[in-house]
Amino acid sequence: MQKSAAKSVTRSENLDDYRRGSHSVYKLTYHVIFVTKYRKKVITDEIGDFMKNYAAYLCGRMNSELISAETDVDHMHLLISMPPDVAPVKLINSLKSQLSKEVRNTYRSHVEKYLWGDSPFWSASYFCATTGSVSLDTVKKYIEDQRTEEHKRKYIKTGKYKKKN
């Protein structure tokens, strides 16, 4: 019988995946998709590379991280990690508007072949889904186990942080 290829994750390895803010520790990732207006095939490889780089820059300005991005001729996929104090809709709206503005300014002649006049670059809608790293059943069990004695023993004070007189 073969051993499972899955690597067991220790607690310290798992904590390294988390991001830290001044008042929080978090791991919030979102899969976001933008679609061009009318599904026009306006995104070339050059425009796609430009959008990926500019999206990474914009995410950084909002204290978020673009983990991965890819484009096709009529849409863009983004995998973004953002802190809990950034509302996903705020980041998404900022990305859509700024990417649209910069792509139109930089590649005006190409974009105008597909989208005429003041037509928006992106469709008004978007897709957004969280990408949790554990199942809902695992989280539910963790929450339900909060009052058990076994759980409490894990967090007994050691005296390390006692106030000094």
* Residue 137 structure tokens: 């059943």
> For residue 74, what pLDDT band results from cuts at 50, 70 and 90?
very high
Over residues 129-142, mean pLDDT:
75
54-71 per-position pLDDT tens digit: 999 999 999 999 999 999
CA distance 114 to 103: 13
What does 1-30 look like in DSSP terms, one character per residue? -PPP-PPPPPHHHHHHTSEE-SS-EE--EE
Q: Whole-angstrom Cα distance, residue 2 to residue 9?
A: 19
The tokens for 50 are 């430009």
Structural Rg of the chain based on CA atoms: 22
**Mean of all residue pLDDT scores within the chain:** 83
Degrees to nearest 5, angle at CA 31 with 27 and 36: 150
Per-residue model confidence as pLDDT tens digits over 4-39: 333 333 334 456 778 888 888 888 989 999 999 999
- Both tokens of 124, joined, read 């008004």
Q: What is the pTM of this model?
A: 0.74
What residues have CB less than 8 Å from 144, skipping those under 6 apart?
Answer: none
Q: What is the mean pLDDT of residues 95-119?
A: 95
CB atoms within 10 A of CB 123: 16
- Amino acid letter at 124? A
